[in-house]
Structures are given as structure tokens and as C-alpha cells.
Amino acid sequence: MILTLTLNPSIDLTYHLAEDAVGEVDVHRTTASTVEASGKGVNVSRDLRAGGVATTAILPLGGATGRHVADLLLADGVDYQGVPVESETRINTSILLPSGRTLKVNGPGSPLSPADLSRVLGCVEEALAGLADAGAGADSGALADSGAVVDRWLVIAGSLPPGLDADIVAQLIGLAHSYGVPVAVDVSGPALRAALSAGADLLAPNEIELAELLGGAKLEDAEAVAAAARSLATEHDVAFVVSMGKRGAVYVDRDLALHGAGPELVPVNTAGAGDAFLAGWLAAPGQPADRMARALAWGRSACLCPTTVDSAPGSRGTTGIHVRKLA
């Protein structure tokens, strides 16, 4: 079972334009549009559910948009625990251009009151306790819907609501570890630094976010990304899986460094591709090289899907994926 926590969820509106650029006219008319429940952790749960993996999404929900998110998750068959909060759930917008470019406009979200945050933390702790009880004495984890064995994880992903201190990420990592549940984190900025210091088991930044951890270091290729991640992995005893866009991805722990990539493709929609990549990595236990190949398949397939979440993870763009060991 994989729990995901999205502290700043959203409705994701996606618009397809016929024009190759925006701003050249005052009004753009879309050729198609979709509405989805979203936020990075929500996307991970939706990807996992589509892949037949047991998952529960935990998220605060407020107002009319929050009710809409709940309806959309229910329609998708995603198990979720929505925590009622005072503020309205935000709306994000993606604009897809024929050239393969994706433009994102994300709402900031609304602050969580102390009472809201307390309810969210209580929900997370209750879910972790249930996960620990279910997995007691079973190192292999829980069963997916398909019957395949999967890991137990808490995934903390996405932006924080305005005003919420990054230390909440460290607090959540400590809470999960107290129940023996490993934590994967996909956040940025101060929250990513807090996750590193708190001993998250797996960090999933992109190459830009990794460079920011190191004071803006220039990372020109996979070897440079791996070397940068290795320095942090060794110091903090964590693992990194670093997405690099069209250049693939790098995995690093204290003992191993891998680079995975595939042939260049023209994306349809890059929104959600990183979430699909992380979901693919977590979808089943196995050696890092096997996880990397599956994660790349899920991420590349998501790039070729017109929606934020791919309904058939790993079904497109998988030819030519390769994984190599780095020195």
C-alpha cells in the first residue's frame, strides 16, 4: 500500500489550443479540454491506481472545488481520505500547444488554519498506524489490486499551502518513521532541504531543484547530476531519483549510480510526467535498474497522453529505453 499526501491539491483544467503560440490574439478558443483531480501526490495515487497498485490519497479539501475534487476521485475509483478544511481548494491550468509545449498556470492555494493542519496530521497518523498494523511482520509490503506485492510508502509531494512552514515536511517524515514506514518526497525549495535534513528515504527532485540544494551548481550532464546527488546521498544516507526531462533520469544512493533514458519524443502534455515517473518507481519492489526502466516507461507514456494522468501507465513511448551504470 502506498499512501500519498498532497497538502495543496487542485482541480487541473487542461486546454488544447490550435495556435502555436499564446498572446498573439486576445481570445483563444480551445479544441478540447479536460478537468481532473490533481496535485502531485494525487497524481501519483491516480497513476498507481491506473496501474493496479493499492494506494490511498490523503488531502485537505475545501469549498466547491474541494467537493469537485472528491467527485472526480470517486469517478476514477481512487481510494482517498479527504480532510474537510475551511479554505477553498485551488485550480491549476495547463495549456497545450501543437508544438508539444505545455504552459502551466498554478493557483497558490489557500492557507491551512492550525485546526485544519491538526486534522490533516491526525488523518495521516491514523493511516500510517493502519499501514503499520497491516504490514506487521511482513517485509514484502501489501498486495496490489492485481495481486502483485508492492512496497509500503508515504509519499509527500507538491507545493505547500501559503504560510505553511517547510518544517512540516520534517515532522511528517519523523511521524512515518515512527511507524516504520519509509518516505518518498517530491517537493522543492526549503521543503526539499527540510526533507533532506530529516532523513527522507527517497528524494525525487528535478535537476534544477537538485542544483539549488547545492547553491546553484551547474549540472551539464548525467555524470554531473550523479556526482552532485552522490555527495548529498553519502552525507545524509538518502537515495535520489533525479528527473532530467528529455535527458532521462539518474538514480543515486551511497553505493550505486544509474542513468536511464530513451529516444527523443515530441510530448503531447508534460504536466504530470514527473509524477508518473515517481509512481512507476514505487509501483513494485525490485532492483534500482528495474525500477528505473519502469519509471521511465510510465513517465514517457504520460508525456504522450493528453491528460495530466495517463489512464494506461507505461503503454506509450517505451521502445528504446535503456539503463546504464555510472562510474
Q: Which one of 12, 116, 186, 275 is the catalytic residue?
A: 275
Range 97-101 contact pairs with CB under 8 angstroms and sequence separation of 24 or more: 97/17, 97/19, 97/20, 97/21, 97/22, 98/17, 98/18, 98/19, 98/20, 99/20, 100/266, 100/267, 100/268
List beta partners, residue 52: none
Please give the distance of CA 292 from its chain centroid, rounded to a whole number: 15
Q: Can you state the percent helix, strand and coil of the chain, rounding each to 5? A: 35, 25, 40
Exposure of 312 by Cβ count < 10 A (0-12 exposed, 13-18 middle, 19+ buried)?
Answer: exposed
The three-class DSSP label of residue 297 is: helix
The three-class DSSP label of residue 163 is: coil
Residues 6+ away with beta carbon under 8 Å from 288: 251, 253, 256, 258
Known catalytic residue at 151: no
The one-character DSSP state at 246 is G
Query: C-alpha grid cell for residue 145?
Result: 489490486
Please tell me the distance from the alpha carbon of residue 298 to that of residue 314, in angstroms, as a whole number: 4
Please tell me the distance from the alpha carbon of residue 52 to that of residue 213, in angstroms, as a whole number: 35
The three-class DSSP label of residue 241 is: strand
The three-class DSSP label of residue 143 is: strand
Type of residue at 238: V
Indicate which residues carry an active-site annotation: 275
